[in-house]
Amino acid sequence: MKFGTKLIHTGHEMDKSTGSLSFPIYHGSTFHQEDIDQPREYDYARSGNPTRKALEETIALLEGGDHGYAFSSGMAATSSVLSILSAGDHILVCEDVYGGTYRISNNYFRRFHMDITFINATDLDEVKNQIKSTTKAIFLETPSNPLLKITDIKSVVKLAQEHGLLVFIDNTFMSPYLQRPLELGVDAVIHSASKFLGGHSDIIGGLVVVKDMALAKRVYAVQNGFGAILGPQDCWLLLRGMKTLKVRMDYQQKNAVKLAEWLTRQEEVSHVYYPGLENHPGRDIHFAQADGPGAVLSFTTRDRERAKKFMKTVQLAAVAVSLGGVETIVSYPVKMSHASMPVQERERLGITDNLIRVSVGLEEIDDLIADFKRALTI
């Protein structure tokens, strides 16, 4: 079955008992047990809930995994995966991860004596050189946030397997439609489902998918133990939103290609970061591991003043954090997603005060370009 068909025929497209084409929302927090010696599948909704299970099985199917887990946010998903590790474990984290991942790695997990090294994961020699006897896992995000840097997933997995390490990846920017890291040997895929999976800027959620049973048990122990689960109403919203993932992504990606190409020709724009552009570093690697460039791009303006003016005067796009919704969203990483990163670190990475990130939406591209043109030249 092809991906677009899978999105509609997940095994949960219908409520088997009534024929309803919308999966029921089970609000029950607890479940009556007819026989205490024969417990039912569900007992308490932190441990399991039928609507959540439908979502968890759906994302597992789409990612090509065996076990899915739904969390109350993308950060809850990331934190829960990192929480399967222990004090003293060393983790390599790619240096331009989402700002929130950077923040919890630095400010939280280090307090629990996890040893964290930020690395440029696009440089395989650096990855290799940073592995030590206590290293247990590598955390990747590709394309990265916000500079769309590309990491060679297969090569990192090979290195990791040689050293017995786990590989986790934040697949939020791509979604399983464009990139399925488990097929490349990654151990756990993480999503902020608040983005392309939900698709309508109306839900905060996180998802994790793994293949290996032993790893699944470790993730489930944290999900059930910490309890950062996604509620049934939000599970349903996500199940609904995901049905249109392919059509949304196809259209948004087409728009993003056109917008990126147009931006490269603008005098006020000094650089465009987008894997869909011919000169984007790592483009060939990206297209060997993903089925499209996605719908997120970043660009720099000639200077900070122009970037600020653009953010003030752009009209069609929402000025907001987040991405992946039906509406175009522009964000200013220095003050938004990466505000918690020290200035020197940001500047070293190229996250400068003239950088703007764009999540391209479903508007007509001519209208978007006209709006961007006005905001770049006003």
Interface with ligand PLP, residue 209, by CB under 6 A: no
Asked if 351 and 146 touch (Cβ cutoff 8 Å), the reply is: yes
- Tell me, residue by residue from 317 to 346, as one string, x for binding to ligand PLP by CB under 6 A and - for no binding: -----x------------------------
Q: Which spans in the chain are helix H? A: 3-8, 50-63, 74-82, 99-103, 124-130, 153-162, 175-178, 213-226, 232-242, 245-264, 283-289, 304-313, 343-349, 365-377
Nearest approach, Cβ of 164 to ligand PLP (angstroms)? Answer: 26
Catalytic residue at 195? Answer: yes
Residue nearest to ligand PLP (CB): 74
Using the minimum distance from each CB to ligand PLP, give the nearer residue, 58 or 172.
172
Q: How far apart are CA 332 and CA 351, in angstroms?
A: 10
Summary count for the chain: helices (H), strands (E): 14, 12
Catalytic residue at 26? Answer: no
Interface with ligand PLP, residue 198, by CB under 6 A: no
| Binding test (CB under 6 A) with ligand PLP, winner from 73, 179, 255, 331 | 73
Interface with ligand PLP, residue 75, by CB under 6 A: yes
| C-alpha Rg value of the chain to the nearest Å | 21
Interface with ligand PLP, residue 139, by CB under 6 A: no
Q: Which of residues 84-113 bind ligand PLP (CB under 6 A)?
A: 98, 100
Peptide bond connecting 143 to the previous residue in cis, omega within 30 degrees of 0: yes
Nearest approach, Cβ of 94 to ligand PLP (angstroms)? Answer: 11
Asked if 330 and 356 touch (Cβ cutoff 8 Å), the reply is: yes
Interface with ligand PLP, residue 142, by CB under 6 A: no
3 state SS of 269: strand
Interface with ligand PLP, residue 206, by CB under 6 A: yes
Using the minimum distance from each CB to ligand PLP, give the nearer residue, 204 or 319.
204
Question: 3-state DSSP helix/strand/coil percent for the chain, to nearest 5?
Answer: 40, 15, 45
Catalytic residue at 357? Answer: no
Footprint of ligand PLP (CB under 6 A): 73-75, 98, 100, 145, 170, 172-173, 192, 194, 204, 206, 322
